């Protein structure tokens, strides 16, 4: 396993649409492992492949219950609305509120290629939506309602 180099806001790769994974080969499995390690190294709750420079629909999440590896994740159901604070490893020193579904159902493939469905509320719902947005080049600052912490605050 290896820690991968993070991409930061301003890097054009974060704005691109990631391609579906068509074959879960060794390369994808190593990517998943590296992404988990990178997420832990930077103390994130989730990480999407474009954040390590790979334009593939691959996401890892850990909301404190162990790592979840999602290949080709897709939101198939959403329910409710909640406005909560968000940050992103690719956008250091910025926190803002974003409106997200309260509950989501996401279909994905696990690392063995098995089709799975995960249901999330609270932090897990937020992480799923945030990370899946990354696969379409969308960042939380695009949806931000109110900025709570900005780079200027950090410099003071
Ligand atoms: Co992010």
How close is the Cα of 47 to the center of ligand 1, in Å? 6
How close is the Cα of 53 to the center of ligand 1, in Å? 13
Q: List residues, by chain if needed, whose CB lies under 5 Å from ion ligand 1.
A: 88
Taking the domain 12-155, which CATH number applies? 3.90.45.10
User: Contact 58/81 with Cβ under 8 angstroms?
Assistant: no
Residues known to be catalytic:
131
How close is the Cα of 92 to the center of ligand 1, in Å? 10
Predicted pLDDT of residue 54? 98
Mean pLDDT, rounded, of the chain: 96
Sign of CA dihedral 114, 90, 34, 15: positive
Percent helix, strand and coil across the chain, each rounded to 5? 30, 35, 35
Domain ranges of the chain: 12-155
How close is the Cα of 141 to the center of ligand 1, in Å? 10
Predicted pLDDT of residue 152? 78
Q: pLDDT band at residue 154, thresholds of 50, 70 and 90?
A: low
Predicted pLDDT of residue 153? 76
Q: What is the pTM of this model?
A: 0.95
pLDDT digits (tens, 9 = 90+) for 86-143: 999 999 999 999 999 999 999 999 999 999 999 999 999 999 999 999 999 999 999 9
Q: pLDDT band at residue 1, thresholds of 50, 70 and 90?
A: confident
Predicted pLDDT of residue 156? 53
């Amino acid at each position: 396993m290896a820690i991968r180099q993070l991409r930061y806001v301003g890097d054009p790769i974060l704005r691109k649409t990631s391609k579906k994974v068509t074959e879960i080969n060794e390369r994808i499995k190593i990517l998943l492992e590296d992404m988990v390690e990178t997420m832990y190294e930077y103390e994130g709750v989730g990480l999407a492949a474009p954040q390590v420079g790979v334009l593939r629909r691959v996401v890892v999440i850990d909301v404190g219950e162990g790592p979840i590896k999602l290949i080709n994740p897709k939101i198939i159901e959403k329910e409710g609305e909640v406005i909560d604070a968000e940050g992103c490893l690719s956008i250091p020193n910025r926190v803002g509120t974003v409106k997200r579904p309260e509950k989501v159902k996401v279909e994905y493939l696990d690392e063995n290629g098995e089709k799975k469905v995960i249901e999330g509320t609270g932090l897990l719902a937020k992480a799923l939506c945030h990370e899946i947005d990354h696969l379409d080049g969308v960042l939380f600052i695009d949806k931000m309602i109110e900025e709570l912490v900005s780079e200027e605050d950090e410099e003071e």
